[in-house]
Structure 1
């Protein structure tokens, strides 16, 4: 049985015109299996965020194809695109993006409402995801009444409640202190292991990347290297990531 969730097939993304052409993504191909935790690493300007934006349909590819659960998403337009984003993708942002005037329950249920889920199904699913993420006690609280960690989990619940094919995280620890970063990365690991979430995380941080199963290193819009964690401890995997980062060269400080 083919458990491929995502297949990126020879995509390119160019900006500018012939006189001044930037190849942000230059012939990239890879696949992601269901339940995989994939990291995408690279320095600023490497093309990693553009790649994620193409997968999330925020950006359109110049050429090539992207398949999610076998469907070519590069052919979607208008309401089909909105439907795909609402039902197939979950997003985790570094600043949580919770709505201050809504309770945790309302923030989580909003994702289902937008996807057109029946109220009876919403009443069933929100408590289920809250239990899985251990946030039942904050469902009736507003964001300002919660700790940072609780807000993180509410944001993750919102991302997961629609049962998305993939959860996308762009530099999710970028604005967090080390303790909050560890909490978020531990939570992403829980989502991956306990809820079988397929996660794609863009990061320039080797410590964050060490939580992943596999890492694609992007340089100048192309896949420069790939690392599999396998049976390595996170500490050993971290050391291997740093080795690749040193070979990548360039903006060392931006990658560590």
Structure 2
């Protein structure tokens, strides 16, 4: 698959020792194409967050390889890892993680400043992403002066301003009310469709997952099932997700 931006090749992640070994990720392989919106679902303790952490280099694999843009990231160390995370990954957090002492422009531009990008180029990139997300009018405002939706978009702009290969979202709606969840999911869809962002989202929530193009269901550290949305409406896809969740049996209550 030539347009695969992510290739996960037979990765394993073990914790503990021989006497007490936990296989958090157990021989998982898959690919993600550029511009895809992938959901990773599973019950608590299924290994879904560990999988995301391995892909985002927050955690290291025990064995196997992960390729991003054709580069084996499992071979990176130290400053190489920090450089990879800074340039190739964007992160969407539940609580936005904006810095209160910086205005929107400064929050969005911070990662570029740290990377040593020239001020004129920083300004061009910040204005470009702000225009795409409709937040040019709040660039001089501080987080406390913005609505929740505006803060959300500033956080998304910060994640996208470095032109990352992938955007990572771990349970992004987990602590949000239903209205805020819908806003965030709509915004992720917008990033995906308008900016061609490749998004990996870990979730236990079928409603959130229904916004994705494809879902990987993780059980006991392995891929249990896979669903493609195809031409289905989000409502029909939601129903199919619930069917798979019900097949997972006793874990259904953990998933929903």
TM norm structure 2 = 0.99
Q: Which residue of 2 aligns with 1:4?
A: 4
Task: Please list every run of at least 4 consecutive aligned residues from structure 1 whose deviation after the TM superposition is greater than 3 angstroms.
Answer: none
Structure 2: distance between partners of 1:25 and 1:219: 9
Correspondence 1:15-26 to 2 at 5 A: 15-26=15-26
- On the 8 A contact 1:86/1:114 being kept in 2, the answer is no
Report the Cα offset of residue 118 of structure 1: 1.5
**Gaps in structure 2 of 5+ consecutive residues:** none
Correspondence 1:1-256 to 2 at 5 A: 2-256=2-256
Structure 1: distance between partners of 2:187 and 2:16: 39
Structure 2: distance between partners of 1:41 and 1:117: 37
Instruction: Say which SS state the counterpart of residue 121 (structure 1) adopts.
Output: helix
Structure 2: distance between partners of 1:45 and 1:114: 35
Structure 2: distance between partners of 1:132 and 1:111: 19
Structure 2: distance between partners of 1:154 and 1:249: 40
Structure 1: distance between partners of 2:185 and 2:116: 30
Structure 1: distance between partners of 2:250 and 2:23: 18
**Gaps in structure 1 of 5+ consecutive residues:** none
The number of aligned residues is 256
Structure 2: distance between partners of 1:240 and 1:212: 13
- 1:185-232 per-residue CA deviation (whole Å, 9 max, x = no partner) reads 000000000000000000000000000000000000000000000000
Structure 2: distance between partners of 1:157 and 1:177: 22
Report the Cα offset of residue 252 of structure 1: 1.8
